[in-house]
A and B are shown apart, each in its own frame.
Chain A
């Protein structure tokens, strides 16, 4: 539990719950002492630990240690996870580069596994899915989460976003119009892979311990709502339904960027025993509340302001989010609208927990 702290000379009362208690209360639909602060914080946790950002992605043990240390430092209430938006390609034989170089903040696809139509038709789910790409790292991360008594996390897409990693986004988009049957074939294979991955995690760690999450970048800056409906939604629905049928405790969707026109479809997905939805700054909290009345809404502080702005600017954004979301019947947590920028000034990140303590008390 954290000590009282001062904001602009005014003392703010300390928390009445630990982060673990607050997280469990949120998940189990019980009251919390204040608005939880859940952070989608990966590379930044390496930076505050003085470690290369790549360690968050290529070393399960270090990744978990960095994330837990950052959580203790800032006092936020989660999330702890392994994954990144542009995942999937490595699992089908693509080449990735972990972010050791200057300016890199997440793994980069160096070579997409599908380079030709023939490659696409030949794509198959590998026999041993646990040995391919970054699966051994993800599995080690989850094993360590399990042993530490934490919620075990599992990345499950989204399939269309993974297809971008398998094809290359530009080729994917062109083939969506010119060779839709080929895109559906690849989405089918990706979805089968994700289902098998989910089954393994559920069998090994237990559905009641699991939080499955998808990072969906099907933004309407790129795709039309119709394209999302045709190529994104059916496969997402299949995965969410499967996870729900198997009793998954939490399903979290990060709906990245401008997706206002896609929201009605996201809202039709099943979300396990407890649904959580994180939205970008482009989606108003009030809109998310309306679309997901039973889910925890997470959002949506502008990450660019967290990186480039002042603590006071971050605080103002936090205030607006808290005021808009605090009383959501499904639950609300303050969060950035996308990943906390790895190079964000720690004083700005710190403002988010402070804002929850000062402005988010129940």
Chain B
């Protein structure tokens, strides 16, 4: 039987190589060996994705590699997460709602942020793309989310972020709001009253964790 360290290493490597089959096999091996599934996620799968994030920030890998790694990550999670939930030991740092604003269908960035938030132990409710203001508000209230994350990729749709903000501030008191997307920047995020901004998915996850810790 493989030892824990070896299984964690296999899970991490499977994610980094984007190999779904190996990720599933290693996750099943973890279950068979009686490894704590929560630890297998954190020290195996999530560790692999975190390493990919570091490589992306150093421009040693690019979005296609991140996407392939995320497929392996989710394949492994498909085995391990149900066990964590069933054990009642699931730990989460907070709850987030995420979506791409109205009129915008570019969702690669949003999907990467969603994945990095999940890797960091945040429960994420994904509203998809082309999401209007009312849906963001309703979903945030219904899920009692701590964090609301908006993405916009176009100069036309970044205006939606600005337009939504006053309603979010009045109708979602106490909810931290993060924004991101190619045309946005820290200065605009500050001017429009957002609590956080991420230049990329890795940074967005760091900012999200910080916001939740200080909430």
Which residues of A pack against B, CB within 8 Å? 43, 99, 101-106, 108-109, 169-170, 173-174, 176-178, 220-224, 227, 257, 303-304, 307-308, 339, 341-344
B124-168 residues at the A interface, CB under 8 angstroms? 154-160
B50-73 residues at the A interface, CB under 8 angstroms? 59, 61-65, 67-68, 71
Q: Check A308–B188 contact: CB distance below 8 A.
A: yes
Q: Which residues of A contact B154 (CB under 8 A)?
A: 105-106
A-B contact pairs, 9 of them (CB 8 A): A43-B156, A99-B103, A103-B101, A105-B154, A108-B103, A109-B105, A177-B18, A303-B183, A339-B155
Q: Which residues of B contact A304 (CB under 8 A)?
A: 155, 158, 183, 185, 188
User: How many Å from the CB of A282 to the closest CB on chain B?
Assistant: 10
Cα of A173 to Cα of B67 in the assembled complex, Å: 8
Interface size class of B (residues with CB under 8 A): 20 to 34
- Tell me which of A101, A109, A341 contacts B155 (CB under 8 A): A341
A103-B104, A109-B105, A304-B183 are known contacts. Are A174 and B64 too (CB-CB below 8 A)? yes
Q: Find the A residue at minimum CB distance from B101.
A: A103
Cα of A176 to Cα of B185 in the assembled complex, Å: 30
A174-B71, A303-B155 are known contacts. Are A222 and B103 too (CB-CB below 8 A)? no
A interface, over-half SS? loop
Q: Which residues of A contact B156 (CB under 8 A)?
A: 43, 99, 103-106, 341-343
User: How many Å from the CB of B163 to the closest CB on chain A?
Assistant: 8
Q: Check A177–B68 contact: CB distance below 8 A.
A: yes
Which residues of B pack against A, CB within 8 Å? 18, 59, 61-65, 67-68, 71, 101-108, 111, 154-160, 182-183, 185, 188, 200
User: How many Å from the CB of B70 to the closest CB on chain A?
Assistant: 9
Of B59, B64, B103, B183, most buried by chain A (CB within 10 Å of CB) is: B64
Q: Check B68–A101 contact: CB distance below 8 A.
A: no
Q: Find the B residue at minimum CB distance from A225.
A: B62
User: How many Å from the CB of B67 to the closest CB on chain A?
Assistant: 5
Cα of A105 to Cα of B155 in the assembled complex, Å: 8
Q: Which residues of A contact B62 (CB under 8 A)?
A: 220, 222-224, 227
Q: Which residues of B contact A224 (CB under 8 A)?
A: 61-62, 64
A103-B103, A308-B188 are known contacts. Are A173 and B155 too (CB-CB below 8 A)? no
